[in-house]
């Protein structure tokens, strides 16, 4: 297969949603369609041993939530699909935001009962920053929820994106009878607790056909005809260019747990979703068709397999061909590295690969060389930009409960914070370690993983800080004076950058007003 054909058969996307909207369930149905797994896992049940394929950390299985982005690769209808299943929980939003820098499009899952929720809004803001193409899947139509037209209006208003229905539901809740495919002109009938198959599908070239009345009843048939006439009159055919530019989102209705409406979504996705796209760097735009390899690290995960204490860096290939055992240039460290065992993933299962192409996500065994945002090239000095590190809002001091395990604790803190789930600060001119997080659940995960993966027992003591700001100044003397006067509030991050911890918004505003020569930064772009 030619290099160009390899690029054009790839689609790399993330599934995003508010917690419990059905994201992990939808992921599993995709994997079933792609033949990557044979049976769906029980995401919530602790009694059943077949857990959701994409939830591989022990704490995820216990809590029934996803707290780390999982990477899965599968084939469907001749396309190679790289799917990134992201955490829905708001405390792990930073992992999701970074993952969105590594994909070319997004499927957003919305719960038909709850509609647009807080996390949905935040995720869409990140998508809009990059004009990421979005497809919407409205899930749980077999439950009593909001009316379809009301849902569309709410989503358009709340998420500020135009919608374009591709399928249309016939009722919802206990009266849910199926969906009509506006593109393929067919009707898929719904039966609860059974997997949808082609026998449930009716080709209907003309909605006035009497078979429609026989199958769903005269009243529902009349309502469907009226709804479809209205939708086609308002929306017309989908403008794929508007979708690719992030202006219009195609919408599908279904029930992921019943595998209903999922095939229509997947078939449309492989038809219209973008192949790998060009990406901005510190020097120029890098495009997939370029001959020379380049890629960036968007995620790091320690102890993917707790038995082997491994640490994997996830690399998104942006251009050229990645080859096993070949030397590549690590731009930040200015040294060349080769990888003898690069992996592709199906959650915890890893397959060694010999090559990878733009759009692919490759797992690299890491001995501590990588940080999030690192770039690999064939020699060119550039960084892929736009990979954010956000200001934490919760701060806790790390207290070592077992001094005999100090080395294990140091190693654990460094490795876990390298993954990006939290930020590690050290008090300026001291040894006090402070963890900064976006949400409380992250502390619980860090404490659990320090104990179970490194044997280090800690407790966290809350600190009265409100926000972390990276500080810089052109005048070194002014910066030194500020540090001297504010010693109790000054820490350094892992890269040695100075950070000011403010006790409140008032303190922060006061310091900004009193120190015009000092710049306060609320997000630290990696490699700033």
Is pLDDT at 287 greater than 90 in this prediction?
yes
Q: What is the CATH number of the domain that holds 498?
A: 3.30.70.3280
In tens, the pLDDT along 151-178 reads: 999 999 999 999 999 999 998 888 888 8
Same-domain pairing of 263 and 248: yes
Is pLDDT at 496 greater than 90 in this prediction?
no
- Would you place residue 45 in the very low, low, confident or very high pLDDT band (cuts 50, 70, 90)? very low
What are the respective helix, strand and coil percentages of the chain, to the nearest 5?
30, 30, 40
**Number of C-beta neighbours around residue 325 at 10 A:** 10
Same-domain pairing of 175 and 138: yes
Does residue 430 sit within a domain?
yes
DSSP tag of 260: B
Question: pTM here?
Answer: 0.77
E-state strands within 369-412: 375-377, 394-400
Boundary-marking domain end, from 318, 346, 377: 377
Give the pLDDT score at 309: 55
Same-domain pairing of 190 and 246: yes
| DSSP code string of 342-370 | -EEEETTEEEE-SEE-TT-EEEEE-SS--
Same-domain pairing of 136 and 266: yes
Same-domain pairing of 260 and 283: no
Is pLDDT at 16 greater than 90 in this prediction?
no
Same-domain pairing of 413 and 474: yes
Same-domain pairing of 293 and 430: no
Does residue 97 sit within a domain?
no
Same-domain pairing of 268 and 284: no
Does residue 308 sit within a domain?
yes
Q: CA gyration radius for the chain?
A: 25
- Would you place residue 385 in the very low, low, confident or very high pLDDT band (cuts 50, 70, 90)? confident
d(CA 244, CA 19): 26
Same-domain pairing of 328 and 203: no
Does residue 488 sit within a domain?
yes
d(CA 321, CA 4): 11
Domain tally for the chain? 3
Same-domain pairing of 12 and 116: yes
Same-domain pairing of 468 and 487: yes
Is pLDDT at 271 greater than 60 in this prediction?
yes
Does residue 388 sit within a domain?
no
| Both tokens assigned to 118 | 């807080």
Same-domain pairing of 153 and 295: no
Does residue 389 sit within a domain?
no
DSSP tag of 81: E
In tens, the pLDDT along 436-489 reads: 887 777 788 788 888 888 899 999 999 999 888 889 999 999 999 999 999 889
Q: Are 457 and 451 in contact (CB under 8 A)?
A: yes
Is pLDDT at 346 greater than 60 in this prediction?
no
Is pLDDT at 88 greater than 50 in this prediction?
no
Boundary-marking domain end, from 272, 290, 314: 272
Element (H, E) at 376: strand 375-377
Domain holding 166, by residue range, is 3-88+103-272
Higher pLDDT, 442 or 51: 442
Does residue 95 sit within a domain?
no
Boundary-marking domain end, from 329, 351, 377: 377
The rounded Cα 372 to chain-centroid distance in angstroms is 15
Angle between helices 262-272 and 23-33 (to 10 degrees): 70
Q: Are 289 and 304 in contact (CB under 8 A)?
A: no
Q: What is the CATH number of the domain that holds 173?
A: 3.40.50.300
Give the pLDDT score at 423: 86
Q: Are 399 and 458 in contact (CB under 8 A)?
A: yes
The helix/strand/coil state of 524 is coil
Give the pLDDT score at 382: 92
Does residue 489 sit within a domain?
yes
- Would you place residue 306 in the very low, low, confident or very high pLDDT band (cuts 50, 70, 90)? low
Is pLDDT at 60 greater than 50 in this prediction?
no
């Amino acid at each position: 297969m030619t290099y160009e054909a390899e690029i054009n058969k790839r689609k790399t996307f993330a599934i995003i949603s508010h917690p419990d909207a059905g994201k992990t369930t939808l992921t599993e149905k995709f994997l079933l369609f792609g033949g990557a797994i044979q049976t769906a896992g029980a995401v919530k049940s602790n009694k059943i041993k077949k857990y959701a394929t994409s939830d591989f950390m022990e704490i995820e299985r216990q809590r029934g939530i996803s707290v780390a982005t999982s990477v899965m690769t599968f084939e469907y209808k001749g396309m190679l699909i790289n799917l990134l299943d992201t955490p829905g929980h708001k405390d792990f939003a930073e992992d999701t935001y970074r993952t969105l820098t590594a994909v070319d499009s997004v499927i957003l899952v919305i719960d038909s009962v709850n509609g647009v929720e807080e996390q949905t809004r935040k995720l869409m803001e990140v998508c809009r920053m990059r004009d990421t193409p979005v497809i919407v899947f409205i899930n749980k139509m077999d439950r009593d929820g909001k009316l379809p037209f009301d849902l569309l209006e709410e989503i358009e208003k709340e998420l500020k994106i135009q919608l374009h229905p591709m399928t249309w539901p016939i009722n919802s809740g206990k009266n849910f009878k199926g969906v009509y495919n506006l593109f393929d002109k067919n009707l898929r009938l719904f039966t609860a607790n059974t997997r949808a198959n082609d026998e449930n599908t009716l080709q209907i070239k003309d909605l006035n056909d009497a078979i429609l009345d026989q199958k769903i009843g005269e009243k529902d048939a009349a309502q469907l005809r009226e709804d479809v006439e209205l939708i086609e009159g308002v929306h017309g055919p989908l403008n794929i260019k508007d979708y690719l530019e992030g202006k219009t989102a195609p919408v599908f209705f279904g029930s992921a747990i019943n595998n209903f409406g999922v095939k229509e979504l997947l078939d449309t996705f492989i038809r219209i979703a973008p192949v790998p796209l060009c990406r901005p760097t510190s020097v120029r735009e890098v495009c997939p068709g370029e001959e020379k390899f380049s890629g960036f690290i968007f995620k790091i995960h320690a102890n993917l397999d707790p038995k082997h204490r491994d640490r994997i860096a996830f690399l998104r290939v942006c251009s050229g061909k990645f080859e096993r055992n070949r030397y590549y240039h690590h731009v930040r460290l200015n040294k060349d590295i080769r990888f003898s065992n690069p992996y592709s993933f199906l959650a915890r299962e890893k397959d060694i690969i010999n090559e990878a192409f733009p759009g692919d996500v490759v797992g690299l065994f890491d001995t501590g060389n990588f940080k999030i945002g690192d770039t690999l090239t064939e020699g060119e000095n550039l960084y892929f930009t736009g990979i954010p590190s956000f200001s934490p809002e919760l701060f806790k001091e790390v207290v070592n409960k077992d001094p005999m395990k100090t080395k294990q604790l140091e190693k654990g803190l460094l490795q876990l914070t390298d993954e990006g789930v939290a930020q590690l600060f050290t008090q300026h001119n001291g040894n006090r370690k402070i963890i900064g997080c976006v949400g409380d659940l992250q502390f619980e995960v860090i404490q659990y993983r320090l104990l179970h993966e490194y044997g280090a027992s800690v407790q966290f003591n809350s600190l009265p800080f409100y926000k972390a700001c990276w500080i810089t100044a052109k005048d070194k003397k002014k910066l030194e004076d500020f540090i001297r006067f504010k010693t109790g509030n000054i820490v350094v991050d892992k890269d040695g950058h100075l950070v000011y911890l403010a006790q409140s918004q008032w303190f922060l505003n006061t310091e900004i007003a009193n120190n015009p020569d000092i710049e306060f930064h609320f997000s630290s772009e990696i490699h700033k």
